């Protein structure tokens, strides 16, 4: 199979890239591991930031850079913010039903960390409505979808991408899709914190792992944003609106212990300290009374009842912080091309375009996937490879690997390891970190990497084998987590979402990006000064 | 215990119903994951977001399409794959044909009006654009049993969403696309409305699409087929 532009991932970033590449006249294939709309984008409720005049753009840039704690690139942030008005106008023109104010203009609201109202929304379903509108437009424009394809590896020769290999989950066959250029839009890696994330089950950093295996570079993986209020048992998100409307955070002794409206990372740390001291933490909304709660937080009421068996009008809601968004990712240049692999672009949560730095400003993630997503599609469609060679070697290697997996001994249950890893990562490389904890988890991860071939699958079916899919995702998890831990260990300071209790302040010498790559299969890391 | 109808086309017999224990406090999707990771890794199902917005985990629970992530299992429940979708394995179904109805119905804006919407117009399409494409309505639709080419409820709701949108300058394109095996083939039984997890009312949307079709000069074939025992052409 051959195309001009291969896009891997069908969230907002992938579909924006697909549409803009198509507009340029390129043939486009979108390959995704489930169905096109089953992407993390649909879970974004809050909204999308946009700035319309020079003053707004300047404040947007300075808010974003402040939130990035010295790691945001002014150039890329400017590119994103300057393209924000075009992005939202484009979305509106293709049909996204944005909410309107009383004068029938697009409605906007404040989000945390913003010094101006600039977040546009479509009820509480901003991400869902954007994603589905993009999908409808992809159908209109004849974008080809290859559904239920799990990315295995990039096909790279002479440091230039030629396509990628996939497991066709339905048939169990391994296939190659060759392309003049590739856009990776596979989403973040919050799900490595298995059991402790607000994300869906598929955010396992597949694209990041593939870039590392292909000789590319990833960066800043230690920066993970934790949302303060996820339900204790299920990690389902309880929106910030619950605190915005006047909800209290209390510990098991009934004491309030933090200003509920402080920035996310501060609140998350305060909650974690309480939990580490053996106390439970609860969101208390009872004083808002049932009538008001039904009107203001109907979704949250339903989720609490369903996932926690709690009536928020009469009971305390047990909560914990949970991994929510990953700032680090595939290292890209100002054209979104990946470092060291030509013709390969990355965009969205899987990438590190240096627009979020050490912490992301609310409303910028949807903006990034649209504004930079479109840019990635255009740049990818313009890329002309020097040769149209089709290296078969990777395909053969991957066929060999997958058939090998069927013969792994399966003496160790990887599901147990996945659960254990999620737990130790959360407690030692989560909201509050220190050297001993990080070293301990890193040792455990390296042990699991050694044990990988003793794990395996017990479902030996060829077709529709989700046991195999989850096993490969776990392999990717182990790749990504190693980098996350090495970064967190070597960054002996606290900055943005990365907090070390043994180095609890920002250190100017670390105003730099952690970089990760592999040489002869061994992980290498260094710091590179931020621009 | 719950019962799960399992399917593997390579096994003989290819379909069996198996019993599994319930874990208190887990919704059905969380239970599937627990069973897969602790009891039977071959149990096959789909589910992504865990919170009711991605539309990937719908299954039949006691004959009714239901999002697994939004349902608390009860002892004796029978879980089956979605009706009217080819079964791939266990609870995984092939949604290709169902999703293709969106291509057939051309549910998008064909040509954009440059005048933005007003609030009134927005309110007429807001609920319809909450659709998560879970295919529950499609699986509940009895017309599928007699006409597998029927476009089905979610495509028709989406057709209403776009033809009503004041941004669309060419609503006739979508309207034309839904005349055959579309708006007139629905029996207005309301099953789709009853099962929608997003509170969308495809039955009402289809009735509105019928009015819209007639207003735009399309014939109502249900009238043409109606006979009251008189032959008007002969006069009295």
Q: Is residue A306 within 8 angstroms of chain B, CB to CB?
A: yes
The answer to whether residue B87 sits within a structural domain is: yes
Using one digit for the tens of pLDDT, what is the confidence trace for A455-478? 999 999 999 999 999 999 999 999
Chain centroid to Cα A83, Å, comes to: 21
Whole-number Å distance between alpha carbons of B112 and A415: 50
C-alpha distances in Å from residue A114, one per residue of A51, A124, A506:
12, 19, 22
Of A42, A139, A467, the CB nearest to B41: A467
Same domain? For B114 and B214 the reply is yes
pLDDT at B235: 47
* Same domain as B100, residue B206: yes
Q: How far apart are CA A141 and CA A152, in angstroms?
A: 28
Read off the pLDDT band of A427 (50, 70, 90).
very high
Q: Which of A25-29, A91-95, A235-239, B35-39 has the lowest mean pLDDT?
A: A235-239
User: Do B120 and B86 belong together in one domain?
Assistant: no
Q: Which of B42, B71, B93 represents a domain boundary (last residue)?
A: B93
How far is the CA of A43 from the CAs of A39, B54, B140, in angstroms? Answer: 8, 8, 26
Q: What is the mean pLDDT of residues A54-70?
A: 96
Q: Are residues B48 and B88 in the same domain?
A: yes
Q: Chain A partners of B117 at a C-beta cutoff of 8 Å?
A: 97, 100, 104
> Which of B122, B232, B51, B155 shows the shortest CA–CA distance to A107?
B122
Nearest CB to B48: which of A137, A201, A415?
A201
One domain, residues B69 and B140: no
Rounded to a whole number of angstroms, the distance from the CA of B3 to the nearest CA of chain A is: 20
Confidence of residue B225 (pLDDT cuts 50, 70, 90): low
Task: Give the tokens for residue A100.
Answer: 């309107």
The tokens for A185 are 């839009």
Min Cα–Cα distance to chain B from A379, Å: 26
Residues B32 and B84 in one domain: yes
B133 touches chain A (CB under 8 A): yes
A69's CB contacts (< 8 A; 6+ apart) are: A357, A358, A359, A495, A496, A506
ipTM of the complex: 0.95
**B64/B144 same-domain check:** no
Q: The domain that contains B106 carries what CATH number?
A: 1.10.1060.10
User: Per-residue pLDDT for B231 more than 70?
Assistant: no
Q: Is residue B88 located within the same domain as residue B100? A: no
Q: By residue range, what is the domain housing residue B81?
A: 2-93
Q: Say if the Cβ atoms of B132 and A37 lie within 8 Å.
A: yes
Q: How many CB pairs under 8 A join A and B?
A: 139
Helices and strands counted in chain A (H then E):
16, 19
In this structure, the answer to whether residues B72 and B115 fall within a common structural domain is: no
CATH classification of the domain holding B74: 3.10.20.30
Residue with the bigger pLDDT between A509 and A297: it is: A509
At B236, the pLDDT band (50, 70, 90 cuts) reads very low
Same domain, B101 and B212: yes
Q: Is the pLDDT assigned to residue B233 strictly greater than 70?
A: no
Domains of chain A as residue ranges with CATH: 2-222+325-382 (3.50.50.60), 231-321 (3.90.700.10), 393-504 (1.20.58.100)
More confident residue, A341 or A302: A341
Say yes or no: B82 and B152 in one domain.
Answer: no
Nearest to A162 by CA among A391, A395, A337: A391
| pLDDT value, residue A74 | 97
Q: Up-side HSE of residue A330: CA atoms within 13 Å toward CB?
A: 34
- Proportion of chain A in helix, strand, coil states, percent, rounded to 5: 40, 20, 40
Please, which residues 55-114 of chain B have a Cβ atom closer than 8 Å to chain A?
Answer: 55-56, 70, 72, 88-89, 92, 94-96, 99, 102-103, 106-110, 112
**Considering CB atoms only, which of B70, B99, B133 is closest to A306?**
B70
pLDDT value of position A244: 82
Residues in A closer than 8 angstroms to B111, CB to CB, are none
Mutate to test the interface with B, among A19, A30, A100 (most CBs of B within 10 A): A100
Residue A15 pLDDT greater than 90, yes or no? yes
Query: Is B159 part of a structural domain of the chain?
Result: yes
Instruction: Answer yes or no: do B106 and B216 share one domain.
Output: yes
- Give the number of residues written for chain B: 236
Q: Are B167 and A132 inside 8 Å of each other by CB? A: no
Confidence of residue A165 (pLDDT cuts 50, 70, 90): very high
Count of domains forming chain B: 2
- Integer Rg of chain B from CA: 21
């Amino acid at each position: 199979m051959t195309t001009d532009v291969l896009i891997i991932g069908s969230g907002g970033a992938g579909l924006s890239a697909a549409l803009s590449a198509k507009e340029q006249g390129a043939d486009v294939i979108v390959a995704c591991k489930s169905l096109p709309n089953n992407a993390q984008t649909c879970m974004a409720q809050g909204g999308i930031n946009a700035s319309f005049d020079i003053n707004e753009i300047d404040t947007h840039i300075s808010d974003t850079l402040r939130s990035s704690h010295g790691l945001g690139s002014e150039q890329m942030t400017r590119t994103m913010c300057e393209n924000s008005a075009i992005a939202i106008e484009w979305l509106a023109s293709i049909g996204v039903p944005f909410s309107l104010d009383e004068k029938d203009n697009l409605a906007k609201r404040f989000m945390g960390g913003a010094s101006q109202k600039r977040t546009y929304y479509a009820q509480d379903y901003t991400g869902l409505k954007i994603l589905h509108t993009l999908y409808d437009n992809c159908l209109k424009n004849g974008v080809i979808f290859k559904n239920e394809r799990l990315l295995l590896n990039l096909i790279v020769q002479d440091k230039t991408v030629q396509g990628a290999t996939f497991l066709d989950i339905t048939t169990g066959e391994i296939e190659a899709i060759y392309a003049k250029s590739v856009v990776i839009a596979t989403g973040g890696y919050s799900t490595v914190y298995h059991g402790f994330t607000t994300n869906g089950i598929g955010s396992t950093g597949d694209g990041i792992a593939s870039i590392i295996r292909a000789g590319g570079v990833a960066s800043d993986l230690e920066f993970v944003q934790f949302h303060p209020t996820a339900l204790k048992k299920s990690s389902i998100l309880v929106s910030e609106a619950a605190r915005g409307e006047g909800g209290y955070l209390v510990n098991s002794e009934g004491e309030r212990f933090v200003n509920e409206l402080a920035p996310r990372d501060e609140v998350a740390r305060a909650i974690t300290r309480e939990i580490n001291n053996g106390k439970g933490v609860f969101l208390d909304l009872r004083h808002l009374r049932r009538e008001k709660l039904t009107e203001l937080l109907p979704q949250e009421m339903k989720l609490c009842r369903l996932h926690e068996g709690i009536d928020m009008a009469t009971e305390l809601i047990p909560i914990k912080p949970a991994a929510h968004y990953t700032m680090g990712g595939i290292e890209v240049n100002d054209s979104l091309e990946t470092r060291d692999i030509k013709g390969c672009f990355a965009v969205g949560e899987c990438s590190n375009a240096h627009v979020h730095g050490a912490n992301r400003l609310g409303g910028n993630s949807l903006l990034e996937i649209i504004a930079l997503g479109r840019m990635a599609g255009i740049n990818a469609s313009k890329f002309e490879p020097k040769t149209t060679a089709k290296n078969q070697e990777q395909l053969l290697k991957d066929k060999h690997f997958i058939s090998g997996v069927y013969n792994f001994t399966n003496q160790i249950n990887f599901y147990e390891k996945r659960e254990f890893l999620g737990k130790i990562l959360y407690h030692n490389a989560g909201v509050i970190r220190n050297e001993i904890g990080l070293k301990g988890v890193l040792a455990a991860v390296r042990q699991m990497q050694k044990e990988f071939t003793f794990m395996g699958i017990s479902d030996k079916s060829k077709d529709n084998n989700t046991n195999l899919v989850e096993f490969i995702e776990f392999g990717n998890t182990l790749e990504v987590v190693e980098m996350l831990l090495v970064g967190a260990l070597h960054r002996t300071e606290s900055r943005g979402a990365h907090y070390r209790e043994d180095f609890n302040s920002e250190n100017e010498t670390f105003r730099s990006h952690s970089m990760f790559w592999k040489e002869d299969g061994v992980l290498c890391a260094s710091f590179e000064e931020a621009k | 215990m719950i019962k799960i109808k399992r399917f593997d086309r390579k096994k003989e017999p290819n379909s069996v119903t198996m019993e599994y224990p319930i874990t208190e406090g887990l919704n059905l999707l969380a239970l599937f994951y627990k069973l897969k990771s602790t009891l039977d890794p071959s149990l096959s199902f789909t589910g992504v977001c865990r919170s009711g917005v991605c539309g990937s985990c719908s299954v039949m629970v006691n004959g009714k399409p239901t999002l697994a992530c939004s349902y608390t299992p009860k002892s004796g429940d029978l879980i089956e794959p979605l009706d009217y979708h080819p079964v791939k394995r266990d609870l995984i179904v092939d949604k290709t044909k169902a999703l293709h109805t969106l291509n057939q119905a051309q549910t998008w804006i064909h040509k954009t009006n440059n005048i933005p919407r007003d609030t009134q117009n927005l309110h007429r399409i807001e609920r319809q654009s909450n659709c998560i494409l879970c295919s529950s309505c499609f699986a509940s639709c009895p017309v599928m049993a007699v006409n597998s080419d029927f476009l089905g409820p979610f495509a028709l709701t989406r057709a209403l969403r776009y033809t009503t949108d004041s941004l669309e300058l060419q609503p006739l394109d979508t309207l034309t696309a839904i005349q055959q095996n579309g708006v007139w083939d629905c029996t207005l039984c309301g099953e789709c409305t009853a099962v929608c997890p997003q509170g969308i009312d495809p039955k009402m949307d289809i009735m509105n699409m019928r009015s819209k079709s007639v207003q735009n000069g399309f014939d109502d074939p249900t009238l043409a087929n109606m006979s009251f025992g008189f032959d008007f052409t002969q006069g009295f």
